A = this chain, B = another copy of it.
Amino acid sequence: MIDQHIASAFDRDLEEIQAHVMKMGGLVEDSIREGARSLKMRDEELAEKVRKADKQIDALDTKIQEECARLLALRQPIASDLRTVLTVMRVAANLERVGDYAKNMAKRTTVLVHMQPIDGASGAIKRMAKEVRLMLSDVLDAYIRRDVDLAQDVRHRDIEVDQMYNALFREFLTFMMEDPRNISSCMHLHFIAKNIERMGDHVTSIADQVIYLVTGEMPEEARPKGNSVNYNLEAQMGLERET
């Protein structure tokens, strides 16, 4: 068995790293909320703030990866301790990606504020972003509490996010076909919607990690990334244009 002293040192180190992960998660939640709000309010200053905040998120990711590497080298954990450290590294990597997508939303917002608004689009995007943000908040709770049921719940909610994306895709296509002057802005909005849909995939991936951490196995019906996005719908829309 592992020496009690060593085990405690490991736990202490791990706790410190996990605090950084939670801080990172909070910053990413803020970025999603403020990114979507900057789009809705056409607030260029807020968008700029979100873009800058991503540097802090990236720095935290780097810090966490380095601390995990040091922990592996110093404490040489095995079994479930090792699994925990590897999970922390993956969770941080996923958070970093979500942060990137939020930054991207802010970047596109600074472009969109100079364009004609598209009716209802920024509101619909804000609702989609909110759903993903709540999923992120819950999955971080699930991680801290090692709560498999909550993690499963988050996974199921990602299906709704995909449905929201499909509805938006259809809407943007209609707007573009109605008036070519909408094309530029709809392309940016479509990318934002797609990026939020991808945030959902990364949150789902964190949920998978939580389940792996507790049960030792990845969820059986692990949804392939983005698989529930309706390519058939996209196809139909295209085929409709052909007929």
Q: Let me know if A79 and B73 touch, CB within 8 A.
A: yes
Whether A19 is near chain B, meaning CB under 8 Å from some CB there, is no
Q: How many residues of A contact B (CB 8 A)?
A: 47
Q: Binary interface profile of A, 56-79, with partner B (CB < 8 Å = 1, else 0)? A: 001000000100010011001111
A116 vs B100: C-alpha distance in the bound complex, in angstroms? 34
A69-91 residues with Cβ-Cβ distance < 8 A to B are 69, 72-73, 76-79, 82-83, 86
Q: Let me know if A78 and B86 touch, CB within 8 A.
A: no
Q: Let me know if B116 and A242 touch, CB within 8 A.
A: yes
A96-149 residues with Cβ-Cβ distance < 8 A to B are 100, 104, 107-108, 110-112, 114-116
Residue on B nearest A76 in the bound complex, by CB: B76
Neighbouring B residues of A82 by C-beta, 8 Å:
69, 72-73
A110 to chain B, nearest CB (A): 8
A191-243 residues with Cβ-Cβ distance < 8 A to B are 191, 194, 224-226, 231, 234-235, 237-239, 241-242
Q: Let me know if B111 and A234 touch, CB within 8 A.
A: yes
Neighbouring B residues of A86 by C-beta, 8 Å:
65, 69, 72
A226 vs B190: C-alpha distance in the bound complex, in angstroms? 18
- 8 contacts across the A-B interface (CB closer than 8 A): A72-B82, A73-B78, A73-B79, A116-B242, A173-B183, A176-B176, A177-B183, A191-B194
